Structure 1
């Protein structure tokens, strides 16, 4: 993801940036797996730390007003981060693969939601607004 420019990034909305973070996370994990296999532990350490940094950023970007899904994602991100720390200490490819599988599943679901064009948060806000508006009395 070295091709990213600051201007290009500023043109993305928050959902697209989240998709980029997922992509970056998966790339880091794949590189970490290869580095561990090649016994390049310095590179593996660097990639696993990057992965944890991305997970921290994903967690910081959660909007808890979106509902239970935000709390569930927070728990998953925390679990993934803990597994990456364990994997880094033990240089455990299996743990990294587990986190990669979780990240791939979440990223796939996220990208499918992006394709549908409707943000779950926008949809929830519209439903709340519609429920509120039905009780408003209009004066003419």
Structure 2
């Protein structure tokens, strides 16, 4: 009578994601791509364990799409040099491993790709340029106030 029970929650989540994407820095967008791929791989494991072939395939396809059309497509091999080339090879490896996991029903292969994505995501988070921009470079560390130290008089003499 009222439709799908999760329809409203899914619409709300979609709006939240779209808002996050619109306001995210390029660095945050890459983190979001890693997280999206990780969620898709974790979902594929659940569907694989449940024997849900259609949803397993859809989740793996989504993870491959994020890796190939998001992470891999965002590489600038001219500027990134050897690091970009190595990441490109790693992304290609992950996509091929996901295909094998799908064809052979190998949850351990999905876990391998998940761990690779997690390691890259964690490394990416630690090099967050936004966090460095939030801390003023010239700011000196504040010394805690010593209540017993002599204080200059705040009274104005007439």
TM-score by length of 1: 0.78
Alignment partner of 2:127: what SS? helix
By percentage of residues, which structure has more helix? Answer: 1
Give the whole-Å Cα distance in 1 for the aligned partners of 2:57 and 2:73: 23
Decide which of 58, 69, 77 is 2:71's aligned counterpart: 58
Q: Which residue of 1 aligns with 2:14?
A: 2
> Does the CA contact (< 8 Å) of 1:41 and 1:91 recur in 2?
no
Superposition misfits of 4+ residues, deviation over 2 angstroms: 1-8, 115-118
Unmatched tracts of structure 2, length 5 or more? 1-12, 133-158
1:74 to 2:81 alignment: no
Give the whole-Å Cα distance in 2 for the aligned partners of 1:33 and 1:3: 26
1:18 to 2:30 alignment: yes
Residue-by-residue CA offset, 1:106-133 (whole Å, 9 max, x unaligned): 0000011116746xxxxxxxxxxxxxxx
The alpha-carbon deviation at position 67 of structure 1 amounts to 2.6
Give the whole-Å Cα distance in 2 for the aligned partners of 1:97 and 1:4: 28
Residue-by-residue CA offset, 1:69-108 (whole Å, 9 max, x unaligned): 1111101000000000111111211111110010010000
Alignment partner of 1:67: what SS? helix
Give the whole-Å Cα distance in 1 for the aligned partners of 2:46 and 2:17: 27
Residue-by-residue CA offset, 1:8-35 (whole Å, 9 max, x unaligned): 3121121110000000011011111011
Q: How many residue pairs were aligned?
A: 119
Give the whole-Å Cα distance in 2 for the aligned partners of 1:18 and 1:79: 19
Decide which of 44, 51, 54 is 2:56's aligned counterpart: 44
